[in-house]
A and B are shown apart, each in its own frame.
Chain A
Amino acid sequence: MAVLDIRDVSKTFGSVHAVQRFNLTVADGELVCLLGPSGSGKSTLLRMIGGFETASGGQITIDGEHVTRIPPEKRPTGMVFQSHALWTHMNVFRNLAFGLKLRRLPRDEIRRRVEAVLDQVGLAGYGQRMTHQLSGGQQQRVALARSLVLEPKILLLDEPFASLDQHLRERLREEVRDLQQRLGITTLFVTHGQDEALALADRIVVMRDGRTEQIDPPDMVYRAPATPFVAGFIGSMNLIDGAVQNGAFHHAGFTLAVPVADGPAILAVRPEALDIVQASAAGAAHVHRVTDFGAHAIVDIELGDGVRLKSQVPDARLWKAGMAIDLQPRAFAVYRDDVAIHRADRA
């Protein structure tokens, strides 16, 4: 059982507020992804949990025990860095055995545990290799094994696969997920890739400028983004700046009935929820370009004032550049002052 609790944690570097009053509880065995653009404070938060940065304020507890002021070597956390940070003067076995030796375990127990964990990450028999004799993916597996072999209560991963190619990244992502579920280890995973977060997480924390924008399961973050920032950051999204007047959203000739009070508003529609029809008269927009992906097509749309939108359509052949069209959003959200004030889903 390992529960990680983060209460009002802040970190300032001089005048930079890297993390601001952050709150999160990670349940036992849960995998939470910290997702946000570069500079949003993800690494700083993770490093505070691992003990590599001291929090400027707030408290971190693991299983109810305060760790906020404890040095990293005394914390029950295991950290995997983006640059694998393996010790290049040691072979794989010695990299994994180092932490166990510090715990003064007997020799054959060390050997047994190292071999078991190497087997788990698919590197059985690689113990005598030097780290530079491994591929990037293998190095990252060793780094993961080096943390796992100590059976930490909390596993922390800071963009562990960011330097690997797409294909390898996807494979390792699945391996980590399998391993994490098999071991039931409480995990925080930092990434700036939404795919990674959506594929891995039990819950996603979307961060921006050191603050939380939304904490929800992946499907909720995708279907009901709490703020326009989340809406724009996760998946592909059309965000249209406009105003509501007399129950209708307006932007450059495009109107949509919405039951909200008058005022400025942002309309958010995903390409797959934005239907288009050929306009009988002038139309609100016209087709700018059609890109055929076989199974579906993306139509780039230009509104009267030049703003571009995307619509996902089943058949590319129905649409030609220059064609006048009308827009019919099936599902959308209306945001005002950074919160959703209306959601609609006409399936």
Chain B
Amino acid sequence: MDRPRTDWTGIAFATALTLLIVFPLLVVATWAFTNVWRYPSVIPQEFGLRYWHAVLGRADVWTSITTSLTLATVVTLISAAICLPAAYAFARLEFPGRNILFFSFLAGHAFPKFGLLVAIAGIFLNLGLIGTFWGVVLIQLVGTLLFMIWIPVAAFQSVDRRMEESARDVGASPLRVFWSITLPQAGPTIAAALLLSFVGTFYETEGAWLIGAPQVRTLPVLMISFINNQPVIQFGAVLSVLLWVPSFIALLFARRVIGSGSFARGFGG
């Protein structure tokens, strides 16, 4: 058998990507564990956890961590409760105005986001939602609609209709069919959408800042204010390392879902 030819383009590509992504991350990580690093030294003069103590010792950091986690969880759950049935309706049912409604979900994302946010902020101001947790929840919900509808619609559409009919045939109500057949069949893809929703909400800053600040501060919003107000780089570095945690957890989870093979099966493989 021939040895596969060395794919130089692929290697160059991978290297470039690694440098572009990993190098900045490495620099930030190094900063986070640095006590003293003065120009022009290439490596820090003193490593240490001094700034970790400083950051984790602050009450506002812990508040924002709790806020961010609660926010991401609540938004994902509400979004799932609203979007999954809607996505199922779009995928399976015929009703008047179906296409217009589906398009309107997507249309919100065709315009510059900040303009939309400002408009929404105006409405929220009248409703007294500015600076409240639920105001931020609402604005984040709007942000999740796109992929929480689009991705599950595709997932539901790829579920074999005969499978659903077989379930009706053995005595399952339409609701039961959705719960026991359609949802598990579309499961891995929907899990990916939930993950996107959680991580997306966790990292979103514009809406969170515009609606929430200064009373409700998520971790990324806090990080931005740290970087703006603190001349010390390490504060920002420590916070951004903290911010990677959900990403890593999400990646691990995604790997499990994809690696289990149920991902491929979910696509009818």
Binding site for B on A (CB under 8 A): 50-52, 71-74, 77-79, 81, 83, 85-89, 98-99, 102-103, 132, 143, 146-147, 150
Shortest Cβ distance from residue B16 to the other chain A in the assembled complex, whole angstroms: 39
Partner of B170, one of A52, A89, A98: A98
**A50 B169 Cβ-Cβ under 8 A:** yes
Q: How far is the CA of A89 from the CA of B187 in the complex (A)?
A: 10
Q: List 13 A-B contacts (CB under 8 A).
A: A72-B165, A73-B169, A73-B172, A74-B171, A78-B170, A83-B162, A85-B160, A85-B162, A89-B265, A98-B180, A99-B171, A146-B166, A146-B170
Shortest Cβ distance from residue B142 to the other chain A in the assembled complex, whole angstroms: 33
**B166 A79 Cβ-Cβ under 8 A:** yes
**A85 B163 Cβ-Cβ under 8 A:** yes
Partner of B160, one of A83, A98, A132, A143: A83
Inter-chain contacts of B160 with A (CB < 8 A): 83, 85
In the complex, chain B residues 206-233 whose Cβ is within 8 Å of any chain A Cβ: none
Inter-chain contacts of A98 with B (CB < 8 A): 167, 170, 172, 180
**A79 B265 Cβ-Cβ under 8 A:** no
Q: How far is the CA of A72 from the CA of B262 in the complex (A)?
A: 29
Shortest Cβ distance from A98 into B: residue:
B170
Shortest Cβ distance from residue A46 to the other chain B in the assembled complex, whole angstroms: 12
Partner of A87, one of B168, B176, B181: B181
**B265 A78 Cβ-Cβ under 8 A:** no
Q: How far is the CA of A147 from the CA of B171 in the complex (A)?
A: 11
Q: Digit string of B170-199 for contact with A (CB within 8 Å is 1, else 0)? A: 111100100011001101000000000000
Shortest Cβ distance from residue B267 to the other chain A in the assembled complex, whole angstroms: 11
Partner of B168, one of A72, A89, A150: A72
Q: How far is the CA of A150 from the CA of B168 in the complex (A)?
A: 13
How many residue pairs link A and B with beta carbons under 8 A? The number is 66
On whether A85 and B265 interact (CB within 8 A), knowing A99-B171, A102-B171, A103-B171, the answer reads: no
Inter-chain contacts of A146 with B (CB < 8 A): 166, 170
Shortest Cβ distance from B183 into A: residue:
A89
Shortest Cβ distance from A90 into B: residue:
B184
**A79 B169 Cβ-Cβ under 8 A:** yes
Q: How far is the CA of A71 from the CA of B168 in the complex (A)?
A: 8
Shortest Cβ distance from residue A158 to the other chain B in the assembled complex, whole angstroms: 10
Inter-chain contacts of A86 with B (CB < 8 A): 163, 166
Q: How far is the CA of A99 from the CA of B180 in the complex (A)?
A: 12
Shortest Cβ distance from residue B129 to the other chain A in the assembled complex, whole angstroms: 41
Inter-chain contacts of B180 with A (CB < 8 A): 98
Inter-chain contacts of B170 with A (CB < 8 A): 73, 78, 98-99, 102, 146-147, 150
Inter-chain contacts of A51 with B (CB < 8 A): 168
Q: Digit string of B133-146 for contact with A (CB within 8 Å is 1, else 0)? A: 00000000000000
Inter-chain contacts of B162 with A (CB < 8 A): 81, 83, 85
Partner of B167, one of A83, A87, A88: A87
On whether A73 and B173 interact (CB within 8 A), knowing A88-B185, A89-B265, the answer reads: yes
Inter-chain contacts of B173 with A (CB < 8 A): 73
Inter-chain contacts of A88 with B (CB < 8 A): 163, 185, 265
Shortest Cβ distance from residue A103 to the other chain B in the assembled complex, whole angstroms: 7
Shortest Cβ distance from residue B260 to the other chain A in the assembled complex, whole angstroms: 11
Shortest Cβ distance from residue B130 to the other chain A in the assembled complex, whole angstroms: 45
Shortest Cβ distance from residue B202 to the other chain A in the assembled complex, whole angstroms: 29
Shortest Cβ distance from residue A153 to the other chain B in the assembled complex, whole angstroms: 13
Shortest Cβ distance from residue B205 to the other chain A in the assembled complex, whole angstroms: 38
Shortest Cβ distance from residue B168 to the other chain A in the assembled complex, whole angstroms: 4
**A89 B184 Cβ-Cβ under 8 A:** yes
Partner of A52, one of B163, B165, B171, B262: B165
Inter-chain contacts of A103 with B (CB < 8 A): 171
Inter-chain contacts of A143 with B (CB < 8 A): 166
Q: How far is the CA of A102 from the CA of B175 in the complex (A)?
A: 13
Q: How far is the CA of A87 from the CA of B173 in the complex (A)?
A: 16
Shortest Cβ distance from residue B2 to the other chain A in the assembled complex, whole angstroms: 32
**B169 A89 Cβ-Cβ under 8 A:** no
Inter-chain contacts of A147 with B (CB < 8 A): 169-170
On whether A77 and B169 interact (CB within 8 A), knowing A83-B162, A85-B160, A85-B162, the answer reads: yes
Q: How far is the CA of A76 from the CA of B156 in the complex (A)?
A: 28
**B168 A102 Cβ-Cβ under 8 A:** no
Q: How far is the CA of A52 from the CA of B184 in the complex (A)?
A: 22
Q: How far is the CA of A51 from the CA of B173 in the complex (A)?
A: 13
Shortest 7 CB-CB distances between A and B: which pairs?
A99-B170, A85-B162, A72-B168, A102-B171, A85-B166, A89-B184, A81-B162
Q: How far is the CA of A78 from the CA of B165 in the complex (A)?
A: 11
**A85 B165 Cβ-Cβ under 8 A:** yes
Inter-chain contacts of B181 with A (CB < 8 A): 87
Shortest Cβ distance from A131 into B: residue:
B265
Shortest Cβ distance from B163 into A: residue:
A85
Shortest Cβ distance from residue A138 to the other chain B in the assembled complex, whole angstroms: 17
Name 18 extra pairs, CB < 8 A, besides A98-B180, A99-B170. Answer: A72-B165, A72-B168, A73-B173, A74-B171, A78-B170, A79-B166, A81-B166, A83-B160, A83-B162, A85-B160, A85-B165, A86-B166, A87-B166, A87-B181, A88-B163, A98-B167, A147-B170, A150-B171
